[in-house]
């Protein structure tokens, strides 16, 4: 269920639980009646029930009656553990509280029943994460639990501490609000799941088809038109869904066959779609709920408008790199422009109404956000507006069959997020308890005393490793907890630091050997998995350079260490970034105005590096002039002139 569209084992029960989790979240987020811990316990309980009832312990056990009996037992234990949290927290059950005190007031004096529930609960969380995401996150959580217990015996380089007993560890990580039912799960409940529901409903209206057709009308008749359609449509849809894998599956079903028919090889089509889908959560104004997670985590606090403003230029540069790579590759391969797509036939055409639904969804969401509504209230109101407008035409109407499918899809997509966020909560609980989060910066800071770039490379590698196989939102939450304070100590602008982490959490989706978005695209394209992963990584390389650029040049984010940047600095940074990205894309594709020989490609890479790197500034007639930018521009102009002279001398025939 977590990653496939297989029919649920118990369709009616699954539908009932799916409806329950959607209705409960919408109601409780907008009109809370329960305590936060009870909200999260019910949310987690519903998610884990869906997991154990629909995701087998192993594919080979899917038909085993004994395994299904075990799954039923795990579902009952989930009800017991999560129900216990609600029972021992809500004032309505005061008369039956153990020791006459609520669970929160028993901190440090937990009963044997409390400890038993916590141990079983931790096991259920890690098993759910293993079933939906694989072994990486449960093993990481286990390492942190062992570290909490054996910390007194850890070597000096492994951040030793006084060590904690089992009661203290399981109480911290499961029973109270700094572990499983902490900030990671809270963000999933308050923000992310509502956007999952929003994306599922939008998909049920057929708005995906409109986005693809609109992009096709704009770019379909240009060289590499289908690939450009994939880039634009995946960016727009990914901003709303926030899930690279789900976005790849939704838009790739349409765009990958289009790219293959246009002449792109299967692995290249898969790579383009994966790279485009992975960047969707970087695109304002929605950013797949990423902006709202930052509202909770960035310190000192920032506003929604500041986050959107900071994210817009890097997002444009990332998609510019993809767009130019596709264009140059199509020219290099001599791919002809396809025929124009069929335009809507008037106000009775279904595509016209699908467009109206999409514009209503995105426009109302942005309008509510800028009107000052909280993110969860804005998406709830926008969801209502989208459903209302969908009833204007039968092709977009969210009737009972479409609503059923949307509810099931939303529940299916949120199960791995719940399991992952709960498992990340274990890590966060240990980090908070042991104090390692405050000591990690002290280890990395000396590395950056003379070389901030080297420290950023270390953090990038850590981010990619930790992000392998995890949903992007969960990756960001985990990395923001472990690494965010480090970047703050390095003197990086706080919002730039969080965007740095956010980008590499997204880039993990296209980084082999665990490039989940690329593998999803490969399955659609019928391409080799590893070749598709390598292609996606190569195409998305600009996404690996941009975070370094805006850390050293926060003007790209409309930020400055000293406050608001001067407009001339912003203009120069944007111009240098755009030219650097163009040179980089041409070098990757091996084409500018004509095929680029190896020397020209190397010079294009050099020009790109100089344009994107920080460097000394001189003043000419009172205007600041960046030395490296100017050098890179000169090299780029020289290469362009050389390449222009070689145009028309031949193309590279092949499939990319």
**What tokens does 307 get?**
């986050």
What is the arithmetic mean of pLDDT over 185-209? 84
Q: Stretch 45-61: mean pLDDT, rounded?
A: 94
Cα separation, 365 vs 92, whole angstroms: 37
Note the helical H segments in 106-243.
112-133, 136-150, 166-170, 183-187, 193-204, 207-219, 225-241
Q: Give one word for 206, left, alpha or beta, with left for phi > 0 and alpha for psi -120 to 50.
A: left
- Better pLDDT: 371 or 534: 534
- Residue-wise pLDDT tens digits, 560-574: 877 778 888 888 889
Count CB atoms within 10 A of the CB of residue 109: 11
Place of tokens 């970034």: 577
- The answer on pLDDT for 6 being more than 60 is no
Query: Please, which residues bridge with residue 626 across strands?
Result: 617
Nearest Cα neighbor of 432 from 226, 172, 100 is 172
φ, ψ of residue 626 to 5 degrees: the values are -80, 125
Q: Is 625 helix (H, G, I), strand (E, B) or coil?
A: strand
Alpha-carbon distance of 227 to 204, in angstroms, equals 24
Six-digit token string for 328:
């140059």
Mean pLDDT of all residues belonging to the chain: 85
List, in order, residues 6 or more apart from 388 with CB less than 8 Å away: none
Among 61-70, 441-450, 504-513, the range scoring the smallest mean pLDDT is 441-450
The secondary structure element, H or E, covering residue 617 is strand 617-620
Q: Which residues of 392-407 are buried (b: 16+ CB within 10 A; e: fewer)?
A: ebebbbbeeebbeebb
Whole-model pTM: value is 0.78
- Nearest CA among 435, 590, 585, 560 for reference residue 495: 560
Contact 44/181 with Cβ under 8 angstroms? yes
The predicted pLDDT at position 1 comes to 46
Other Cβ atoms within 10 Å of 238 Cβ, number: 30
Q: What is the 3-state secondary structure (H, E, C) of 291-328?
A: HHHHHHHCCCCCCHHHHHHHHHHHHHHHHHHHHHHHHH
Q: Read off the pLDDT of residues 240-261 as tens digits, 9 standing for 90 and up.
A: 666 787 778 778 888 888 888 8
Domain definitions of the chain by residue range:
11-188, 575-656
Beta bridge mates, 617 = 626
Residue 449: the pLDDT is 60
pLDDT exceeds cutoff 60 at 78: yes
The CA-atom distances, in angstroms, between 179 and each of 29, 37, 174, 249 are: 20, 11, 6, 32
Residues 515-549: pLDDT tens digits?
A: 778 888 888 888 888 899 899 999 998 888 889 88
């Amino acid at each position: 269920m977590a990653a496939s569209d297989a029919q649920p084992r118990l369709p009616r029960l699954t539908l009932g639980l799916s409806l329950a989790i959607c209705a409960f979240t919408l109601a409780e987020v907008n009109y809370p009646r329960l305590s936060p811990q009870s909200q999260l316990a019910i949310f987690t309980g519903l998610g884990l029930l869906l997991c154990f009832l629909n995701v087998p312990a192993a594919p080979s056990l899917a038909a085993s009656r004994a395994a299904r009996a075990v799954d039923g037992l795990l579902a009952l234990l989930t009800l017991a553990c999560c129900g216990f949290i609600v029972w021992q927290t809500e004032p309505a059950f005061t008369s039956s509280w153990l020791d006459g005190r609520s669970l929160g007031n028993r901190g440090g004096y937990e009963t044997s029943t409390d400890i038993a529930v916590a141990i079983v609960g931790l096991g259920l969380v890690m098993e759910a994460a293993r079933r939906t995401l694989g072994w990486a996150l449960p093993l990481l959580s286990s390492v942190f639990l062992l570290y909490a217990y054996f910390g007194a015996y850890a070597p000096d380089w492994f951040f030793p501490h006084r060590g904690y007993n089992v009661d203290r560890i399981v109480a911290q990580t499961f029973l109270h609000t700094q572990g499983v039912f902490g900030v990671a799960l809270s963000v999933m409940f308050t923000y992310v799941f509502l956007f999952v529901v929003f994306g599922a409903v939008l998909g049920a209206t057929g708005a995906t088809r409109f986005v693809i057709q609109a992009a096709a009308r704009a770019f379909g008749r240009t060289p590499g038109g289908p690939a450009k359609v994939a880039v634009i449509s995946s960016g727009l849809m990914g901003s709303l869904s926030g899930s690279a894998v789900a976005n790849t599956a939704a838009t790739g079903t349409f765009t990958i066959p289009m790219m293959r028919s246009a002449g792109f090889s299967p692995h290249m089509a898969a790579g383009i779609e994966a790279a485009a889908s992975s960047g969707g959560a970087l695109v304002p104004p929605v950013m797949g709920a990423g902006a709202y997670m930052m509202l909770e985590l960035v310190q000192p606090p920032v506003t929604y408008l500041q986050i959107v403003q900071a994210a817009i230029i890097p997002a444009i540069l990332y998609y510019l790199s993809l767009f130019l790579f596709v264009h140059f590759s199509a020219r290099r391969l001599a791919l002809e422009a396809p025929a124009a797509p069929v335009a809507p036939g008037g106000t009775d055409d279904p595509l016209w109404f699908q467009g109206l639904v999409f514009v209503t969804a995105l426009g109302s969401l942005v309008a509510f956000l800028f009107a000052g509504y909280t993110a969860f209230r804005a998406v709830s109101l926008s969801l209502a507006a989208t459903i209302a407008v969908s009833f204007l035409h039968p092709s977009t109407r969210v009737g009972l069959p479409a609503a059923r499918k949307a509810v099931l899809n939303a529940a299916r997509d949120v199960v791995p997020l719940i399991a992952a966020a709960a498992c990340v909560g274990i890590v966060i609980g240990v980090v908070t308890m042991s104090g390692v989060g405050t000591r990690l910066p002290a280890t990395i800071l000396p590395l950056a005393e003379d070389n901030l770039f080297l420290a950023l490379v270390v953090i990038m590698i850590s981010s990619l490793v930790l992000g392998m196989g995890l949903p992007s939102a969960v990756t960001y939450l985990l990395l923001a907890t472990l690494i965010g304070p480090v970047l703050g100590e390095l003197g990086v602008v706080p919002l730039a630091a969080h965007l740095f982490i956010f980008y590499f959490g997204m880039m993990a989706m296209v980084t082999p050997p665990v490039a989940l978005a690329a593998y999803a695209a490969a399955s659609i394209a019928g391409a080799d998995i590893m070749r598709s992963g390598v292609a996606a990584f190569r195409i998305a390389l600009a996404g690996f350079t941009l975070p370094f650029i805006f850390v050293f040049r926060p003007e790209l984010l409309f930020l400055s260490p000293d406050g608001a940047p001067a407009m001339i600095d912003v203009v120069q940074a944007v111009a240098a970034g755009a030219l650097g990205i163009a040179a980089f894309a041409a070098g990757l594709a091996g084409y500018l105005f004509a095929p680029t020989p190896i020397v020209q490609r190397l010079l294009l890479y050099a020009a790109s590096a100089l344009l994107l790197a920080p460097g000394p500034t001189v003043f000419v007639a009172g205007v600041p002039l960046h030395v490296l930018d100017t050098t890179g521009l000169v090299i780029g102009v020289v290469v362009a002139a050389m390449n222009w002279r070689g145009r028309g001398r031949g193309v590279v025939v092949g499939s990319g």
